[in-house]
Amino acid sequence: ASEASFENLAQRFQHLPLIDRYPNCFPDINPVDVYRAHITSILHDITGVDRSIIYPALQWTATLEKGDLMLAIPALRVKGKPDELGKQWLEKWPDSPLVEKPVQNGAFLPFFFKPAPLTKTVIPMALSHRFDFGTNSTVGLRDQNDLSKGKKRMLVEFSSPNIAKPFHAGHLRSTIIGGFLSNLYKSAGWDVVAINYLGDWGKQYGVLALGFEKYGNEVDLERDPINHLFQVYVKISKDVADEKEQAEKMKAEARKYFKKMTEGDDEALALWRRFRQFSIKRYKETYARLNIHFDEYSGESKVSEDDMHKAADKMKEMGLAEDHEGALLIDFVKNVPGKEGKQLGKAILRKKDGTALYLTRDISELLNRAERYKFDHMIYVIASEQDLHVKQFFKVVGMMGHQDIAAKCQHINFGLVLGMSTRKGTVKFLDDILRDVGDHMHETMKKNEDKYKQVENPAKTADILGISSVMVQDMLGKRINNYKFDLQRMTSFEGDTGPYLQYAHARLCSITRKAGLTEENLTSADLSLLTEPMAIDLVRVVGQWPDVVQNTLKTLEPTTILGYLFKMTHVLSTSYGHLRIVGSEHEVMKARMALYDAARVVLYNGMKLLGLSPLERM
């Protein structure tokens, strides 16, 4: 009987214009939304409170024991004591095919979904949607009811290393977080443009060119451009510092060289262009290992001097910037009222010698992107060390009369990685780090001879495990927190680590291989056989996945996804002892395998969203 009424209910949902009634309610792809809508109806009938107040008040729970959803009674804004209100409401609680009657817990009503209909919704949904389970192609549409109006456009600027300087931890974090955000918005139906804004301009490239004449060579430039250019830069900088008499001469020469570059001198630009191209080529290889792709390699060099002067002049005309000993300065304290102005302080837009600066470039580049891409939103993934810089250039763009554009920009910041340089204090490049961690994983793998023999490409597997170690460690906490780079901890198979997550996925793959069932076996499985508490808990967690992704669009934290995936792997690891496959009766085996398959789909999709490469064997 309960099944029949569930089907009725599901049908009713299809005919109700639910999306109009509840923004962001997607019952056909998010099981939790079915329950939100259903509980909202019940509560509305009982309390008379407006549905639009009830719906968003149905909250997540931290753990399964606390229920699947919960309501803080005061959130409905009904006069009275929560204790008594809850009691009154529960007296009128109707029989529901979908949720158990709640047992009040102080000011909260916890809701538990009834297992049978949940199982029959969640597993078929996961198995039929598969790689799309958790994606929602309509969130990023300009008009959710009219596909022809197109997708909203999101620009994500991230990674942005500097040529001839080390790719440091800040760039690594920006890369990992930016890659994740690009995936997240794509999965939500946005048109995402990934931009790498290289540090590729400035008088240091004059220095570098001189250095290359003295210390550089073509072979090394092609073989290992990033290291080579860095070494050249270190050597020539040392010369400048050591040879006091020569220093002024060299500096002048470098300045002259860079000046030629800014004037568009072909010869001067040719060398620089090759530095840039070779570096990008090398970076692309590393990005590919991290499953990252950029649509555009922009950079500070691409910002036109002309545009910058125009922007600076405009600020001056508007009376917002002033001359100060030949330089052009903006005093936010004077121009922006209150605390904000004080925080922003002062900034230089143009130096005495007429050269523009990092800040001015960002201002011009932002305005250019607005013109070129007509974006709906833009995210900058930059370390929190640059919080002030970002606030300043957003503010200036707003002050220039582009408040609308500034309002579409968002800074996603993050904390530091501690202890990533080597013992000698010398810099380490990203490739070196990834190699070290990969080697470490390779050694660990060799310790289990039997397993090792079965892995098809051990070096590649070790590399993926190493990369997963680094990425998972990075995404485990909130972005803003600092963390310590800890090789031992991140490569461990115990605790919430990359190798553990990979292991959980590989184990599900191994169970699938051993069971050897067909797709038909799984779709025809009798899901009512899944009655064990462990099975039900696993279904409950799997069913949260699309909702977790929706929630991540609010938090924009990788840890929202990662924390959920670890929660699921913990439920999985306890379930294996209770829900055996091998040796079970055939029908039971089919039902359990359908459940494990749904869990594997979610784990796979989650890992892909984070930018990881899920392993099938290890």
What are the residue numbers of the active site? 165, 168, 171
* Shortest Cβ 335–ligand ARG spacing (Å): 22
Rounded to a whole number of angstroms, the minimum distance from the CB of residue 361 to ligand ARG is 8
Structure tokens at 44: 């509305």
The amino acid occupying position 132 is D
Q: How far is the CB of 52 from ligand ARG (least distance, A)?
A: 39
For ligand ARG, which is the closer residue by CB, 113 or 394?
394
Residue linked to tokens 């990033």: 226
CB-CB neighbours of 195 under 10 Å: 25
From the list 154-162, 262-270, 559-567, 582-590, the region that binds ligand ARG by CB under 6 A is 154-162
Instruction: Decide if residue 382 touches ligand ARG (CB under 6 A).
Output: yes
The CB-of-382 to ligand ARG minimum distance in angstroms stands at 5
Which CB, 129 or 302, lies closer to ligand ARG? 302
Tell me which of 96, 160, 298, 544 binds ligand ARG, using CB under 6 A: 160
What is the rounded distance in angstroms from the CA atom of residue 584 to the CA atom of residue 580?
7
3-state SS class at 472: helix
Q: Which of 41, 135, 162, 175 binds ligand ARG (CB under 6 A)?
A: 162
For residue 469, the minimal CB distance to ligand ARG (Å) is 24
Q: Could you tell me the smallest distance in angstroms from the CB atom of residue 197 to ligand ARG?
A: 5
- State whether residue 198 is helix, strand or coil: strand
Q: Residues 33, 68, 362, 597: which binds ligand ARG (CB under 6 A)?
A: 362
Size of site (CB under 6 A) for ligand ARG: 8
For the bound state, the minimum distance from the C-beta of residue 348 to ligand ARG, rounded and expressed in Å, comes to 16
Distance CA 111, CA 102 (A): 6
The verdict on 102 binding ligand ARG (CB under 6 A) reads no
CB of 287 to ligand ARG, least distance (A): 16
Q: Are 477 and 483 in contact (CB under 8 A)?
A: yes
Beta-bridge partners for 108 = 72, 105
> Which region among 107-115, 144-152, 157-165, 569-577 touches ligand ARG (by CB under 6 A)?
157-165
Least distance from ligand ARG to the Cβ atom of residue 207, Å? 17
Which neighbouring-strand residues pair with 296? 195
* CA distance linking residue 328 with residue 288, whole number of Å: 42
Q: Is 483 helix (H, G, I), strand (E, B) or coil?
A: strand
- Determine if 22 is a binding residue for ligand ARG (CB under 6 A): no
Ramachandran angles phi, psi of 128, nearest 5°? -85, -35
Chain residue at closest Cβ approach to ligand ARG: 199
Query: Considering only 30-38, 155-163, 182-190, 523-531, which stretch makes contact with ligand ARG by CB under 6 A?
Result: 155-163
* Measured distance CA(445)–CA(464) in Å, rounded: 12
Is 287 or 380 the residue whose CB approaches ligand ARG more closely?
380
| Contacts of residue 361, Cβ cutoff 8 Å, sequence gap at least 6 | 201, 300, 303, 308
| Residue 53: HSE in the Cβ half-sphere, 13 Å Cα cutoff | 13
Q: Decide if residue 299 touches ligand ARG (CB under 6 A).
A: no
Q: What is the 3-state secondary structure (H, E, C) of 12-81?
A: HHHHCCHHHHCCCCCCCCCHHHHHHHHHHHHHHHHHCCCHHHHHHHEECCCCHHHCCEEEEHHHHCCCCC
Pick between residue 86 and residue 199 the one whose CB is nearest to ligand ARG. Answer: 199
Count other C-beta atoms under 10 Å from residue 320's C-beta: 18
> Does the protein bind ligand ARG through residue 380 (CB under 6 A)?
yes
Footprint of ligand ARG on 188-227 (CB under 6 A) = 197, 199
Phi, psi of 224 (to 5 degrees): -145, 65
Q: Is 344 in contact with 395 (CB distance < 8 Å)?
A: yes
Shortest CA distance to 137 belongs to which of 85, 77, 186? 186
For residues 542 and 127, what is the distance between their CA atoms, to the nearest angstrom?
11
Phi-psi region of 585 (alpha: psi -120 to 50; beta: other; left: phi over 0): beta
Task: Give the pair of three-digit tokens for residue 291.
Answer: 């499953």
**Binding range to ligand ARG, per CB under 6 A, among 55-63, 133-141, 156-164, 342-350:** 156-164
**567 vs 86: CA distance, rounded Å:** 31
Nearer to ligand ARG, 162 or 560 (CB): 162
Q: What is the DSSP letter of 539?
A: H
Structure-block tokens of residue 287: 């990005």
Which CB sits closer to ligand ARG, 160 or 301? 160
As a whole number of angstroms, the distance between CA 24 and CA 33 comes to 9
Please say which residue, 185 or 393, places its beta carbon nearer to ligand ARG. 393
Instruction: Give the nearer residue to ligand ARG in terms of CB position, either 170 or 466.
Output: 170
Q: Work out the burial of residue 189: count CB atoms within 10 Å of its CB; fewer than 13 is exposed, 13-18 middle, 19 or more buried.
A: middle
333 burial type by CB count under 10 A (0-12 exposed, 13-18 middle, 19+ buried): middle
The closest alpha carbon to 195, from 379, 71, 348, belongs to: 379
| Residue 196: CB minimum distance to ligand ARG, A | 9
Pick the closer one to ligand ARG by CB: 73 or 370: 370
**Residues paired with residue 72 on neighbouring β-strands, in sequence order:** 108
| Cα angle 306-308-314, degrees, rounded to a multiple of 5 | 105
Q: Which is nearer to ligand ARG, 166 or 458 (CB)?
A: 166
Minimum Å gap between C-beta 355 and ligand ARG is: 17
Nearest partner of 384 among 574, 554, 542, 170, judged by Cα: 170
CB of 157 to ligand ARG, least distance (A): 6
Closer residue to ligand ARG (CB): 199 or 546:
199
Judged by CB, which is closer to ligand ARG: 236, or 382?
382
* Residues engaged in binding ligand ARG (CB under 6 A): 157, 160, 162, 197, 199, 362, 380, 382
